[in-house]
Amino acid sequence: MRISTFFYTIKQGIINIFRNKWFSLASIATISACLFLFGLFFAVLMNVDSIVKTAQEGVSVTVFFDEGISQERIVEIGEMIDKRPEVAKKRFISAEEAWETFKVEYLGEYADGFTENPLADSASYEIYMNDVSMQPALVTYLEGVEGIRLVNRSEVTAASLTGINALIAYVSIGIIAILFAVSIFLISNTVTIGISVRKEEINIMKYIGATDFFTRSPFVIEGMLIGIVGALIPVGIIYVIYNHVIEYIMTEFASISNLLAFVSVETIFTQLLPISLIMGVGIGFLGSITTVRKHLKV
């Protein structure tokens, strides 16, 4: 493509937007509304995902060893555990540490009556996973390791967190699909009107030798520009709203902010901006390219 053709295409795309300004504004407003809803959902989703990941970090599998097991075998088991892809980290808890913790949490002053450690064979590994959904596979493996007599795990918690992750994924896909469909439909209508207005001009251009690319490009550019503008507006609004809402909650509801760690506005914005722009451009491109292929047949 020559430079002059490139700038002509951009210019015509901008002209098309202003030529059909009311329909263009309607498309921009609809895309903005759709992506605004998506942005709100995305912000909530990131915070829910952060809470779930924090909860996952506290879910562990604990393994206890056979009585009389050697320290060398415990070390070997630890090395085997480290090699598993499910494992993020592990922590060794000696029998003495387990007894000290038990005394503080459950016995208090009554612990003085014990002269020996009743948990002498209670050394263990606390194992934390990369993904809580990997727990069944890890537990199955650990139960088959020689030297391990017991594997404690929280099946209900793991299943609940896995279910929440799956639900978040399904809802995300559903909402994105609906927003795409609505926005593409409106951009298609806007581009169709633009083609109708310039139908005679386009026919003349085709008859004197203009290529399909040359006649179609301005309308594709029009759709993409509408998508970009429609994406930038809601991102800016969400940035302001989210920032103020988080500041308000942390100021007025300090107890909640102590329990929940909200994702920062910078983290939300740096991820939401490129996603929204890609969605906006994608919606504009798909809506316009399908329309011009359908209507520009001379």
Give pLDDT tens digits for 7-29. 667 776 677 667 767 767 777 88
- Those residues of the chain that have pLDDT short of 50 are 298
pLDDT given for residue 298 in this prediction: 47
Which H/E stretch holds residue 252?
helix 212-252
Residue 96 belongs to a domain with what CATH number? 3.30.70.3040
Domain count, the chain: 2
Report how far residue 244's alpha carbon sits from residue 242's, in angstroms, rounded to the nearest whole number: 5
What is the per-residue DSSP string for 185-198? HHHHHHHHHHHHHT
Considering 113, 134, 153, which residue would you say is the last residue of a domain? 153
226 and 87 housed in the same domain = no
166 and 265 housed in the same domain = yes
Prediction pTM value: 0.59
pLDDT given for residue 109 in this prediction: 59
93 and 51 housed in the same domain = no
178 and 109 housed in the same domain = no
Structural domain harbouring 105: 60-153
For the chain, the maximum distance between any two Cα atoms, rounded to a whole number of angstroms, is 104
User: With contact defined as beta carbons under 8 Å apart, do 24 and 228 qualify?
Assistant: no
11 and 81 housed in the same domain = no
Considering 137, 153, 169, which residue would you say is the last residue of a domain? 153
101 and 166 housed in the same domain = no
145 and 171 housed in the same domain = no
pLDDT tens track for 235-281: 889 888 888 888 877 777 766 656 667 788 888 888 888 988 888 88
Considering 122, 153, 184, which residue would you say is the last residue of a domain? 153
50 and 165 housed in the same domain = yes
